[in-house]
Amino acid sequence: MRTRPRPATRALLATALAAGGLLTAAAAPAHAAGSAPNGYSNYAFPSGTPLTSLQSSTTITADPGPNSHEYWATQFTLGNGHTGYYGFQTNGDGRRMFLFSIWGAASSLTSRDQGAWCEQATEGTPYVGCRIHFNWRQGLTYAFDMRPVGAKGLRVTVREVQTGKVFSLGTIRPDDDPSGWTVKPSSVVNWSEFYQRNSSSVNTSCDDFFHTTVRFGLPTANDGTVRAGLAGTRAECTGNSVVTADATGTTQDLAIGSAPDGAVGTHVDVALNRPISASSSLDADHAPWLADDWRSGSDWKSAPSAGDQSVTVRLDPRDTVRRLRAWWGPDQPTVPYDLRISKDGVHWSTVASGTSAAAAEDEHALAGPVRARWLRLVMHGDGVAQRVDDLAELQAFTQ
């Protein structure tokens, strides 16, 4: 039994942003006290044309592994002086996340896409951030688009190029003056950060990190009609990291010679933010999707019942599942349950069983690897006592 960890949402350059600074090819990083093989690619757009939208792309060609803590981002500064960035991370324990943040912003609108949320927080100075847990994958390209949505704010949309999947990270309103929401021509930077370096107890030398390679496409603006030029590159820990450039972008090859932190493609929760349904829900604040979003404090609860209740996740049949986990919410009663899989949604096989307990974690290693279209958790009632089931997360792992 254990409580769910709150995922890290590391915000790079909090010190520099608090001072209104911008990382450039010649500047020292805000966290120069440590040593990590981070990489930076700086760009400059032609001056004279207002940059009303920003497009960029990121492809991880060497994954640092499921247990790593790495962040790949596109940073920008707006005409009104607000600085922000968007990108994605590894968060350890197989968790992965897309993020969009602007420092000193006024407010936000949460995306309607499943699992997304926005929050106000402080790292150095106050910021507004929008997040979504998502299992990005090595070898796939993620195309980002940031543009204003009327006077509501700036919205970042992500497209997984090879599959066509599109989702929004949310909308952030920097302030009340949309005329200042254009991107400054020389402010755009692509960076990679091993953010675990910020712990004084771990990762204090260049050899403490895990190899990764990322390809950043050359940014464009105004729907691709304005192209950036490369202004400079830099790699920290030059003995084992390098940044190279060509006509279409830059490649940051970092911590060369190190192995990934865990087997690439394993320990991934393939149920995360997949389509999900339930036999019932207590109310709109306890909807089924809250049981596969990796967020602490968000649970699915059933309507009161004396009978069976169930939660069903539609998996990708290409994924191989070896381990299942049920995180029970704090109000879960003690009832027997089954975990079942199906290839067609009609014929089901029970692969694990147990008894639930409030706030407990139940993990089941399967007898062998399985591929299925559907995963179902069935909580059994006795037909007499009314109860409300409480499920925090239903997870399916590749390892």
CA distances from 381 to 191, 257, 312 (A): 52, 55, 17
14-17 contact pairs (CB < 8 A, 24+) = 14/123, 14/124, 14/125, 15/124, 17/83, 17/103, 17/124, 17/125, 17/127
**Among the listed residues 302, 365, 352, the one whose alpha carbon sits nearest the alpha carbon of residue 328:** 302
Determine contact, residues 234/187, Cβ cutoff 8 Å: no
- According to the model, what pLDDT value does residue 24 have? 35
Alpha helices per DSSP H over the chain: 14-18
**Beta-carbon neighbour count of residue 346 at 10 Å?**
7
- According to the model, what pLDDT value does residue 10 have? 35
- According to the model, what pLDDT value does residue 19 have? 31
**pLDDT, block means (10 residues), the chain with 399 residues:** 36 34 34 70 95 98 89 97 96 86 96 90 92 92 98 97 96 96 97 75 71 97 97 93 96 91 70 91 92 84 97 91 95 97 95 96 94 96 96 91
What values do phi and psi take at 214, rounded to 5? -130, 140
- According to the model, what pLDDT value does residue 91 have? 84
- According to the model, what pLDDT value does residue 336 have? 97
Secondary structure (3-state) at 211? coil
Question: Can you tell me which residue has the tokens 């109860």?
Answer: 387
Q: How many CA atoms lie within 13 A of 71 on its CB side?
A: 23
- Rounded distance between C-alpha atoms, residue 340 and residue 346, angstroms: 11
Return the sign of the alpha-carbon dihedral for residues 147, 90, 326, 297. negative
- Rounded distance between C-alpha atoms, residue 119 and residue 15, angstroms: 20
- According to the model, what pLDDT value does residue 263 have? 63
- According to the model, what pLDDT value does residue 151 have? 96
- According to the model, what pLDDT value does residue 92 have? 80
Amino acid letter, residue 192: S
Q: Which one-letter DSSP state was computed for residue 285?
A: G
- Rounded distance between C-alpha atoms, residue 58 and residue 124, angstroms: 27
Residue ranges and CATH numbers for the domains of the chain are: 14-254 (2.60.120.1270), 276-397 (2.60.120.260)
- According to the model, what pLDDT value does residue 243 have? 97
Q: How many CA atoms lie within 13 A of 101 on its CB side?
A: 26
